[in-house]
Amino acid sequence: MSDHNATIYQNSGFEREIKGGRGPWIERTYAKGATAIAAGLVCAIGAADGLAAPYDPANADLDQVKGVALADSAAEAASVNLLVLGTVNRGALKVGAAAPTTAQLLALEDRHIYAVG
């Protein structure tokens, strides 16, 4: 996992790098509902509404991995950017509030998203 710290005009910014390895990566923008999505969160596309939402293996509507959120997306935002192919930093990944299980990492690999680091 890469962490970047920067100080700009006395303002400190912190960014966690979601992408891992050397690439290539493919990103896509998806419409989402009124749910905040944090960077690194594994996401699905709802079968019922077609909107991006947090992946939930216990919910039949959201149990198919689509990608990994590359940046925070506020609840009021209309869309979210997802990495849909490539490598991601293992330490940045979340399913809900937890690190992904082995089965969830395999679901990511089925989408050609590989956790590294």
CATH number, domain with residue 94: 2.40.300.10
Q: Is residue 13 part of a domain?
A: no
Structural domain contains residue 111: yes
Contact between residue 66 and residue 45 where contact means Cβ atoms under 8 Å apart: yes
State both tokens at 65. Answer: 């991995």
> pLDDT in tens for each of the 117 residues of the chain?
455 443 333 333 344 589 988 889 999 999 999 999 999 999 999 999 999 999 999 999 999 999 999 999 999 999 999 999 999 999 999 999 999 999 999 999 999 999 998
pLDDT, position 16:
59
Kindly state the tokens that stand for 1.
Answer: 């996992």
pTM: 0.84
